[in-house]
Amino acid sequence: MRCSARQWPPRLWCARCGGDDFGSAEIDGLGIVHTFTVVHRGFDAWFSTRVPYGIVVADLGGGIRLTGNYLGDDLEQLRCGLAVRAQYETGDGRTYLGWSPAGAAWPAPG
């Protein structure tokens, strides 16, 4: 029997009820910046061309928080409480989760 708790990252047992019967759930990709940092030194060639850049922990509700790069155009806008939308970016054959201000234009698929 499922208790309907949402949890991330995946675990063998439910943190609420101890059960092991899980399902999946879609999320809408909207969140609120819970915390962030601005990085001024790139330790990887892909990141070093982007400094300074922001890293965001976004709260998606229900106990789910995900970390990703801040993809907004203005680091001065980055703050706790900012509404953000999930967005993926690809570089050097890698795909990264990022967060854009929710008011920013959503990119066309493809």
pLDDT of 108 higher than 50 = no
Residue 109: the pLDDT is: 40
State both tokens at 9: 């990252």
Residue 101: the pLDDT is: 95
Confidence of residue 1 (pLDDT cuts 50, 70, 90): low
Stronger pLDDT, 109 or 65, i.e. the higher one: 65
- The whole-chain average pLDDT of the chain stands at 86
| Matching residue, tokens 């690809």 | 90
Where residue 81 falls (left for φ over 0; alpha for ψ -120 to 50; beta otherwise) is left
State both tokens at 6: 């949402």
Stronger pLDDT, 79 or 21, i.e. the higher one: 79
Query: What are the sequence ranges of the domains in the chain?
Result: 30-101
Q: What is d(CA 62, CA 80) in angstroms, rounded to the nearest whole number?
A: 18
pTM, entire model: 0.79
pLDDT of 110 higher than 90 = no
pLDDT of 83 higher than 90 = yes
60 contacts: CB under 8 Å, gap ≥ 6:
27, 30, 31, 66
CA atoms within 13 A on the CB side of 58: 28
